[in-house]
């Protein structure tokens, strides 16, 4: 099986990630800080969010992502913060209801299969 160019894998990643469709945004909140940012890459396990003002590592986030088949809501934690040229933050999903997970999976399936 060959892995499409847009899919990134790593031995330490539980799920393969894929480049986000152009214009995909996520609304996120930590404490009183609220923001809407572009998604750089996504996977069943989390996202890389482009932002010039990322939340600190280990911050808890609430996220809302507009998928073609409906909204995906989750709780997440910031696992890493990127610097130039990849300003942003890598977040890991820590809680998501089954319906939201199904919508995210449905959105990812064609992206992971495409070349």
Write out the DSSP string of 38-100: EEEEEETTEEEEE-SSPPPTT-EEEEEEEETTEEEEEEEEEEEEE-TTS-EEEEEEEE--HHH
pLDDT for residue 5: 47
CATH architecture of 14-113: Beta Barrel (2.40)
Mean residue pLDDT across the chain: 87
Host H or E run for residue 35: strand 33-43
Question: Cα(86)–Cα(93) distance, rounded to whole angstroms?
Answer: 20
pLDDT > 70? residue 13? no
pLDDT digits (tens, 9 = 90+) for 68-97: 889 999 999 999 998 776 689 999 999 999
The whole-number pLDDT of residue 14 equals: 80
Mean pLDDT, rounded, for 7-36: 82
What is the enclosing helix (H) or strand (E) of 103?
Answer: helix 98-113
Beta pairing partners, 80? 90
User: pLDDT higher for 71 or 113?
Assistant: 71
Query: How large is the average pLDDT for residues 58-73?
Result: 93
pTM to 2 decimal places: 0.84
Does residue 85 have a cis peptide bond before it, meaning omega lies within 30 degrees of 0? yes
């Amino acid at each position: 099986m060959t892995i499409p160019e847009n899919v990134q894998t790593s031995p330490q990643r539980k799920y393969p990630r894929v480049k986000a469709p152009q214009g995909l945004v996520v609304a996120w909140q930590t404490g009183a800080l609220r923001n809407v940012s572009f998604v750089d890459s996504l996977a069943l396990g989390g996202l890389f969010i482009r932002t010039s003002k990322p939340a600190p590592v280990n911050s808890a986030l609430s996220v809302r992502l507009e998928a073609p088949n409906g909204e995906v809501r989750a709780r997440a934690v910031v696992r890493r913060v990127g610097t130039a040229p990849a300003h942003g933050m890598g977040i890991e999903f820590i809680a998501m209801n089954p319906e939201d997970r199904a919508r995210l999976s449905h959105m990812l399936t064609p992206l992971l299969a495409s070349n």
